[in-house]
Structure 1
Amino acid sequence: MISQNTIPTGYLRKVHHIALNVRDMQASRYFYGHILGLHELKGEEVDATLKELVAAGKIANFVTPDGTILDLFGEPELLPPDPDPSKSFTRAYHLAFDIAPELFDQAVSVIRKNNLVIAYGPLSRPTGRGVYFYDPDGFMIEIRCDPH
């Protein structure tokens, strides 16, 4: 039973989905689907409540290997307060994806081959390796791995 003041530890099971507003749906679908390799939900995979919006190109849904859904909401008029993506413009700082340590360098190579703007890294620290870069809307993405 949930108390009136707190949700007990363990009641929240997982992150169900993350929703991002994107200015250019085509560029964002390419980034998340082709560059990052996330599976885009199509046809019967799309939630019934979103089918009409997906068909109209206003929403795109991706799923990560762990089952977290990434929803992209098309907002063509969306502009960050500052065109410099290194200046944070949202309360969400970045979205981090985990990768096997042996695949990290390959991921960095893909980022560079696609001429994505790297904010930090690649860098190594006691918790592993990471590289931070921007999606088409200037939202920071991290690819990270545990230490070998």
Structure 2
Amino acid sequence: MQTTPQSQKTALVPGSLRRVHHIALNVKNMQASRHFYGNILGLHELTGDEVPETLVDLVAKGKVANFVTPDGTILDLFWEPELTPPNPDPTQQFTRANHLAFDIDPQLFDTAVEVLKQHQIQIDHGPVTRPTGRGIYFYDPDGFLVEIRCNPL
């Protein structure tokens, strides 16, 4: 049997994908989401020359905000004022995405839990302790499930 280029199966070689470049979330209330990701979770918001060239106009119009995680992953927030969740009950998970998890130093985990409580962030469950570490699950202003987790001590 002769194979043609169209019938050959191809795949990227393991290791070809280097890292997650960015994660994009739709948000209903940009101000609340910027406060949540920037002031409560402490992510750095990109401003000025840090903003990707392709998003400068949207950022200037208040339609996009960009944050960067300590490992360099960009979190893009896209303002969708008419956004309605798939289900108004945040405990009913989104159909495709389960949650966004941030890693923290185990020595800072309890501090993170206290910060969430002080800001009256809605906790889904936790803190939980597992063989893989500790975690707490909570909701962002749009009802998206977020986790802060750490490795075991």
TM range (shorter): over 0.9
Q: SS of the counterpart of 1:50?
A: helix
In 1, Cα distance between equivalents of 2:21 and 2:9: 23
Name the SS of the counterpart of 1:111 in structure 2: helix
Paired residue secondary structure (2:58): helix
Letter in 2 for 1:14: R
Q: Is 1:45 aligned with 2:56?
A: no
Residue in 2 aligned with 1:145? 150
CA RMSD of aligned residues (A): 0.9
Q: Give yes or no for the alignment of 1:71 onto 2:81.
A: no
Q: Percent identity?
A: 67
Query: Partner letter of residue 8 of structure 1?
Result: V
Structure 2 counterpart of 1:92: 97
Greater Rg by CA: 2
> What's the CA shift string for 1:86-115, capped at 9, x where partnerless?
001231100000000000000000001111
Q: Which segments of 5 or more consecutive residues in structure 2 lack a partner in the other structure?
A: 1-7
Moved runs in structure 1, 4+ residues, more than 3 A? none
Specify which of 3, 12, 15 is matched with residue 10 of structure 1.
15
Deviations 1:118-139 (A, max 9, x none): 1110010000000000000000
Tell me the distance in 1 between the aligned counterparts of 2:10 and 2:113.
Answer: 44
Deviations 1:5-44 (A, max 9, x none): 2111000000000000000000000000000000000000
Match of 2:122 among 89, 112, 117: 117
Partner residue of 1:107 out of 97, 104, 112: 112
Give the 5 Å matches for 1:52-63.
Answer: 52-63=57-68
C-alpha deviation, 1:52, in angstroms = 0.4
Distance in 2 between residues matched to 1:26 and 1:84, nearest whole Å: 22
Which segment drifts farther, 79-88 or 20-29? 79-88
AA in 1 matched with 2:107: E
Shift of 1:4: 4.7
Counterpart CA distance in 2 for 1:34 and 1:4 is 47
